[in-house]
Amino acid sequence: MLNWKLVGNKQKIRHLFFFLAVVVIIIGNGCPVHADESSGAGIDATISSLSTATWDSNQEMPAIWQDRVVWEDRIEMQSDIFFYNITSGKEQRLTITGSAELHPDIFADLVVWEGWSNGSYNIFLYDLANDVTIQVTDDTHDQFNPCVWGDIIAWEDGGSVYYYNVVTGEESQASEPGTPAGKPDVWGNHIVWEQWSGDNPEIMLYNISNRSIHQVTSDPGNQQYPSIWEDRIVWSEDKDGYKQIMLYNITTGNVTNLTSDPWNHEFPVIFGNLVVYERFSDISAIDLTTSEEVLLTEEVLPAPDTPDTPQIQPALWGNRVVWRGVSDGYYDIFLCTLGVSLPPLAADFMANITEGIPPLVVEFTDKSAGEVAGWTWDFGDGEKSHVQNPVHTFAEPEIYPVTLTVHNPWQRSAVRMDGLITVGSPPVPDYSADVLCGPAPLSVQFMDKSNGYPSGWHWDFGDGGNSSVQDPFYTYESPGVYTVSLLAENKWGNGTTEKEDYITVVEGSSHQCILPAEGVGIEYTDAGMHIVLDPGAFGISRFDPLEVRSLVTGIPGPGSGISGIEFISGDETGFYQSGNETIEGNLSGIVLISDDVCSLNRNSSIGLVWDYNFSSFYPEYPPGGAITSTVWEGSTPEDAIRFEEIAIDNHHHVNATAITLLFQSGNIQSSGPATIVAGIDSAWIERYGWRWSHHVDSDPQGAMVYVDSKLVGKTPVDIGEGLSPGNHTVSLVKPGYYGNITTITIGDRRENIRAIRIPDFGEGSFVNTSFLYHDPVSGMDYFRVYSPEGLSKFGIVSVRQEGNIFQLVNLVVSRALSAGGGGGGGGSSGGTPGRAAASAASPPVKEPPGPAPQGTVALPPAAFEGHQAHESTLQPLGAGGGGELPPATPGGEVGSSSKVLPIEGTSSLIVLRSLSLVFVAIFVAVVFYMRWKR
Amino acid sequence: MRNTKRYQSQNITFANQLPACTPNGCTDQTGPERDQSFCIQDVEQGSLPDCYFMAALASVAWADPNRLGVFATGYKFKRDMVATTLPDKKVATYNGSPCYARIGPRGFIWPLLYERAYAVWRGCGNPCTSMNCIVGGAGMQALEDITGYTKSPVIQPGTWTAATIPNNNGFASVPAVAWTTNGDPGNKIPADHTFSYLGHYPAINPAYVVLRNPHGRLAPEPSTNVTRSDTTWYSRAPCPINFKNDKDGIFALAVQTFKSKFAGIGYVRK
């Protein structure tokens, strides 16, 4: 298959440069070899490696067009396509996909190959002129062996030969359907391929112009690997037990044997009058004009070639032959330029200095031998240069390899000096730790991440401990916050990095549950785990085979940390009593119920008081299995960040963390669903628990605020502190404005106590948390936490949200300057039903009875913030009604709730104004009457 | 019917009487989604305590309006599309007023529709009668929901510098929010409230951050002693802002006040 591809990559020449003469052979990077001295063949030629700057990969499948060469560069299962311009010395990587790109061919600016895409091989095209890649085929079939000439790309697809015109975009099938065909080659309007008829492949010729197929061969011998140039086709054919090269002239119809000696000759490519092919793992060439044959890789390249280093995959253009050879244990691409005799080209260089501190300025001097036309320096720091003797500055401390590649239009050579430049500086210490916080004793694995190649390390762990190893493992025994420092040194000096408060060790309290082994027998049957319980050694508190056969409750002995174990049987038999008074049955799981675990400071005023127990399901009973629960007050800084991130993901924030609970298992598989009952000090909840805040404001400010008829202050003011959960009446009073009364609901801080779970792997989450009850004796509030995903690390936290239901503030109110009244001006647009917050609706606002004292005007209903934003609440007094009597004091003075409030209202103003008008009218009438009387 | 009330930077009219609003709903056939000319002023929180969402929505309209998931067929949250259920984009009403956000000064109702779509996306049924699922939240999560971008870590306001939030000459180049815990109610910074973070005042030594209360024209604005003569901090047609206008919710807050009265800042980016 590979060799067929070579035929597909066959290159062509218009002028023959094949001279039998004195041979001066240039081998790769090195020494000239005079073929006339070794073989006497006598040709001028220069041979050089092209993929010379590669030391750890294989280059294969070369193709050539004029001075442009492409090949595949393979590392294990991945390969990419590379392009090299012989004249300019420019090398370019065409593909970077991480998958396989194979079998390239080139014509002018077009490079084609087969590439892996979406589960199959497809044909790809790279346009060198525009640096774009185009996928030519895109289906689930595999397309192989592309070749290109002019605008035509041909390939093999599922046993047929197709071709594609890159100008018209038209794709056509060349071979006849139903007959296996492959390994195409294209020249001009002709495509050739081998076509199988039974076990006998024949050579076929297709004319794109008239879409006609011509069978070139028809004898029983196997004809394969065709290559075409103008009106000549060459292929290899079985003759007398060997493969020989045959030539067919399309114009004359003549067939000629080109080779006949007893060797295998395969994979021919033709260009003009020159044919090259593999001759028993060597590259051989024959001049059609003279019928002279030259074994290039034996006669021209004797030195590097051995029987173990096959020279194969030839391609040809003009006087240039390329093939895949072997160099330094890897495949390389070789170029033989016929008719050119040059001295060897060997890259070499020196540096004036190889070690120093940054910035290190190094002068490089080219010492290459041969005719050098261009230089490419790779300094190992991402920088390159193309001058002969560059000066380069290495800025960063590092050890750098330097590579020099030199070239001319016929040769290429490279040399790499690994570790040539050492730029050193005092180390910049850095480090990490696998855990930053946790309960004591806390074991931490520190890892050195210093830059600058330190050779010595001095750790100070902050608690008096130290170490000189690179990656120390250290255990903190006592709670505290520790600053860790690392001093790293090398021959250039030393540096120190200190991370303040890097390790946090908290005071943890641990409790362990151990599943007893005594009194429990385990057998594994086809039905799973069969368990035998010995009531003599394992207390049985509940077993009723007549009523509930599926459940047995056991009580392990003291010290197990377990208050009970429920054994569950899921089969029909359930548990039963054996003859020896043991209880046995097929087990489908257990529920472990822990002892109650309490904090030790229950009778002191220091620290948070808590207690908890848990129950969790396990599918099996592992004797000796242990669950260790560790609890500490608050959270470590690391956990605090995780808790907050998880809370935000759930549209909350963490207000405070009461306790962190960490469950760790030993010799027991991960638990199933688990329930934790945790008690938290009620005082903590009162202090850190959150509920919707109630901020009351008005415009203008300074209105008195009454809650349940008790004055709490003037606006703006926060209310809620000290209020019990439930409904409360809030009134707003300001002299000269309408008043307002509304009802709010004070939430229960316990409603915002949640458990957040941090799993060992994956994302954390809120877990179902519900308030159970308040224990007035212990002063504890108890919560149930249900974790379907089992035990892990939990934080019992108080959460809060953004979204104050009373945040709609600054409702502009209007002073009641004129008579108005009537109508309902307030009310709510609906509030926030379903939330533990305020009840939104205000009571209806009524016209205040009786006359109002001078200068007092009631607030409109909307003046109390927290009302839902209904536009009607913003109507000035003249457009709305009055208000219900608020508990205010006369004259705007702050008064107690027991004081009688002034009567306010617009009706009184109307009466007063009417009376005034009547009085003025009477007065004017009297004045006029008196004047008239005069 | 196109709303004829146009926004004027210095003279904002209250457009609570949209011609397209009837007791059966409001319609907006020619909103800014036609030409993507979204304005931060279009977003005004209404009766629902979802300041976190409205502030986030306003922030996206401010810093990255092209990222708003407003499409002819619906509204996008992360990778999900909430279809516009009514062809004429009617907004449900309660007692004749939109039950969600307020209609901004330009008269467009896309924020109302957006808010309703968010409620549907979060699992509400009929948004007007079942609003619980978007009552209260976290502004950073709302930013992520709206944009599909990735949240930054929570930033403590005490650590704020001019480079904390990616910006272009002070103008926040990423949608950002800031929120309070206790706030400073006496200075009109409510507790448990979310603000849009618009940037910082582009002085040589930034002395102010610019924020917006999502209540917009109804928002109280903290007192400030900004005395700069260039009162228009950012003039981008068609949505210029002016933080000396105390009737748009936008205000400049002294950095020290911001650091001490706010609880967190966060943003999202690609």
pLDDT at position B206 is 61
Are residues A834 and B130, on separate chains, in Cβ contact within 8 Å? yes
What pLDDT sits at residue B117?
Answer: 84
Distance CA A392, CA A401 (A): 13
CA-based nearest residue in chain A for residue B221: A810
**What is the interface pTM, i.e. ipTM, of the complex?**
0.78
Q: What is the DSSP string of A669-690?
A: PPP-SEEEEEEEEHHHHHHH--
**Residue A789 reports pLDDT greater than 90:** yes
Spatial CA neighbour of A100 closest among A83, A70, A122: A122
pLDDT for position B122: 87
The per-residue DSSP string of A744-767 comes to EEEPPGGGGEEEEEE-SSS--EEE
pLDDT greater at residue A203 or residue A671:
A203
pLDDT in tens, chain B (270 residues): 323 222 222 222 223 334 444 445 555 544 565 556 788 998 998 877 889 999 999 999 999 988 887 776 677 888 787 776 543 445 555 444 456 788 888 777 788 888 888 888 888 765 555 666 888 899 999 999 999 999 999 999 999 988 899 998 888 999 999 999 988 877 888 889 999 999 987 655 667 899 999 988 888 778 765 655 455 566 666 677 776 666 788 888 889 899 999 999 999 998
pLDDT value of residue B105: 81
pLDDT at B14: 28
Residues of A within 8 A of B16 (CB-CB) are 871
What pLDDT score was predicted for residue B29?
Answer: 45
Pair type for strands A437-439 and A442-448: unpaired
Query: pLDDT per residue over A269-315, tens digit each?
Result: 999 999 999 988 789 999 999 988 888 876 555 444 445 577 888 99
Report phi then psi at A616, rounded to 5: -145, 150
Q: Which of B16, B21, B47 is the best mutation test for A, with the most CBs of A within 10 A?
A: B47
Cα B127–Cα B131–Cα B132 angle in degrees, nearest 5: 150
Q: From CA A807, how far away is CA A801, in angstroms rounded? A: 13
How confident is the model at residue A884, as a pLDDT?
A: 28
Min distance B177 CA to chain A CA atoms (Å): 11
Q: What is the CATH number of domain B150-269?
A: 3.90.70
Of A117 and A173, the structure prediction assigns the larger pLDDT to: A173
- SS3 (DSSP) at A504: strand
Residue that has been written with the tokens 């992360």 in this structure: B78
In degrees, to the nearest 5, what angle opens at C-alpha B12 toward C-alphas B64 and A865?
90
pLDDT 10s digits, A463-490: 999 999 999 999 999 989 999 999 999 9
pLDDT at A696: 75
Place of tokens 């949240």: B151
A420-424, A493-497, B226-230, B242-246: least confidently modelled range: B226-230
Q: How far apart are CA A556 and CA A536, in angstroms?
A: 11
Alpha-helical regions (H) of A650-738: 682-688
Domains of chain A: 2-338 (2.120.10.60), 349-423 (2.60.40.10), 431-507 (2.60.40.10), 510-600 (no CATH)
Q: Phi and psi dihedrals of A277, rounded to 5?
A: -165, 170
- pLDDT surpassing 60 at residue A536: yes
pLDDT of residue B97: 47
Angstrom CA distances, B191 to A412, A645, B49, B176, B255, stand at 74, 21, 12, 18, 18
Question: In the structure encoding, which two tokens stand for residue B173, read together?
Answer: 């180049």
Q: Distance (Å, rounded) from C-alpha B10 to C-alpha A929?
A: 57
Q: What is the pLDDT of residue A585?
A: 92
Closest CA to B133 of B122, B117, B118, B121: B122
- Shortest distance between the Cα of B233 and any Cα of chain A, in A, equals 24
Question: Nearest C-alpha of chain B: how many angstroms from A813?
Answer: 12
Give A892 or A363, the one with higher predicted confidence.
Answer: A363
Q: With beta carbons under 8 A apart, name residues in chain B contacting A813.
A: none
Alpha-carbon gap: A691 to the closest alpha carbon of chain B (Å): 10
Please name the residues in contact with A555: beta carbons below 8 A apart, sequence gap of 6 or more. Answer: A539, A540, A541, A563, A564, A565
First-last CA distance in chain A = 140
* pLDDT value, residue A331: 85
For residue A805, list chain B residues with Cβ-Cβ distance below 8 A: 49, 135
- Give how far Cα A329 sits from Cα of A59, A308, A576, Å: 12, 11, 73
Displacement of CA A547 from its chain's centroid (Å): 55
Residues in chain A, how many? Answer: 934
Contacts of A803 in chain B (CB under 8 A): 49-52, 135-137, 192-194
Per the CB < 8 Å rule, is B193 touching A835? no
Place of tokens 């009457």: A929
What chain A residue is nearest to B98 in terms of C-alpha separation? A870
Which of helix, strand or coil describes residue B40? helix
- CA of B189, closest CA in chain A: separation in Å? 9
- Nearest CA-CA partner of B269 in B121, B112, B153, B181: B153
Q: Which residues contact A52 (CB under 8 A, 6 or more apart)?
A: A28, A29, A332, A405, A412, A413, A414
What mean pLDDT is predicted for residues A627-648?
92
Considering only CB atoms, which chain B residues are within 8 Å of A712? Answer: none
* Res A928 pLDDT > 90: no
Q: How far apart are CA A666 and CA A664, in angstroms?
A: 7
* Residues A769-778: tens digit of each pLDDT: 999 999 998 8
pLDDT of residue A305: 47
Q: Are A137 and A115 in contact (CB under 8 A)?
A: no
- Across the interface, whether the CB atoms of A830 and B99 are under 8 A apart is answered yes
Every domain range in chain B assigned CATH 3.90.70: 150-269
Contact B94 A647 (CB under 8 A): no
CB hemisphere CA count around A490 (13 angstroms): 17
Three-state DSSP class for residue B14: coil
| Residue B32: C-alpha distances to residues A507, B3, B42, B61 (Å) | 58, 11, 10, 11
Backbone angles phi, psi at A489, to 5 degrees: -140, 155
User: Please, what is the Cα angle at A337 between A332 and A339, to 5 degrees?
Assistant: 160
**A528 Ramachandran zone, left/alpha/beta (phi>0; psi -120 to 50):** left
Contact list, B190 vs chain A (CB under 8 Å): 693, 695, 804, 806-807, 809
Q: What is the DSSP letter of A662?
A: E
Contact call for A695 and B190, based on CB within 8 A: yes
Q: Which residues in chain A touch residue B215, judged by CB atoms under 8 angstroms apart?
A: 807-810
Which residues from chain B sit within 8 angstroms of residue A718, using beta carbons? 185, 191
> In chain B, where do the E strands start and end?
21-22, 25-26, 43-44, 70-71, 74-77, 80-83, 93-94, 97-98, 102-103, 150-151, 167-168, 171-172, 176-179, 194-200, 208-212, 250-254, 264-269
CB contact under 8 A, A837 and B49: yes
- Cα angle at A799 between A755 and A760, to 5 degrees? 35
Q: How far apart are CA A224 and CA A145, in angstroms?
A: 14
The pLDDT value recorded for residue A347 is 96
Q: Residue B129: its chain A contacts at CB < 8 A?
A: 833
* pLDDT(A232) > 80: yes
Contact A697 B47 (CB under 8 A): no
Of A166-170, A378-382, A718-722, B10-14, where does mean pLDDT reach its minimum? B10-14
Contact B181 A801 (CB under 8 A): no
Per the CB < 8 Å rule, is A802 touching B139? Answer: yes
pLDDT at A894 over 50: no
pLDDT at B71: 73
Which of the pair, A825 or A912, is modelled with greater confidence?
Answer: A912
**Minimal C-alpha gap between B170 and chain A (Å):** 26
Q: Does A694 touch chain B (CB under 8 A)?
A: no
Q: Are A208 and A190 spatial neighbours (Cβ–Cβ below 8 Å)?
A: yes
- A473-476, strands of its sheet edge to edge: A431-433, A442-448, A473-476
Given an 8 Å threshold on Cβ–Cβ distance, is B192 in contact with A832? no
**Interchain CB distance below 8 Å, A641 and B153:** yes
Q: Which residues of B touch A807 (CB under 8 A)?
A: 49, 51, 190, 192-193, 215
DSSP letter assigned to residue A68: E
Between CA A130 and CA B39 the distance in angstroms is 42
* Chain A residues touching residue B94 (CB < 8 angstroms): 829-830
- Give the model's pLDDT for residue A805: 54
Contact A831 B130 (CB under 8 A): no
- How many whole angstroms separate alpha carbon B69 and alpha carbon B58? 13
Other C-beta atoms closer than 10 Å to the C-beta of B235 total 11
Identify which of B114, B115, B113, B109 has the alpha carbon closest to the alpha carbon of residue B19.
B109
pLDDT tens readout for residues A30-63: 333 333 333 334 568 898 989 877 777 889 999 9
A829 contacts in chain B (CB < 8 Å):
47, 94-95, 97, 99
Per the structure block, which two tokens stand in for B189?
């910074």
Return the H-helix or E-strand segment holding A915: helix A906-933
Residue A542 pLDDT greater than 80, yes or no: no
Return d(Cα A421, Cα A598) in angstroms, integer. Answer: 64
Distances (CA, A) of A476 to A58, A87, A660, B200, B258: 53, 67, 19, 45, 39
Give the closest-approach CA distance of B228 to chain A in angstroms.
Answer: 26
Q: For A803, which of B50, B102, B186 is closest by C-beta distance? A: B50
Identify any residues that bridge with A232 across adjacent strands, giving them in sequence order.
Answer: A229, A249
Question: Over the stretch A435-467, which tens digit does the pLDDT of each residue have?
Answer: 888 888 889 999 999 988 899 999 999 999 999
- Are A829 and B95 within 8 A, CB to CB? yes
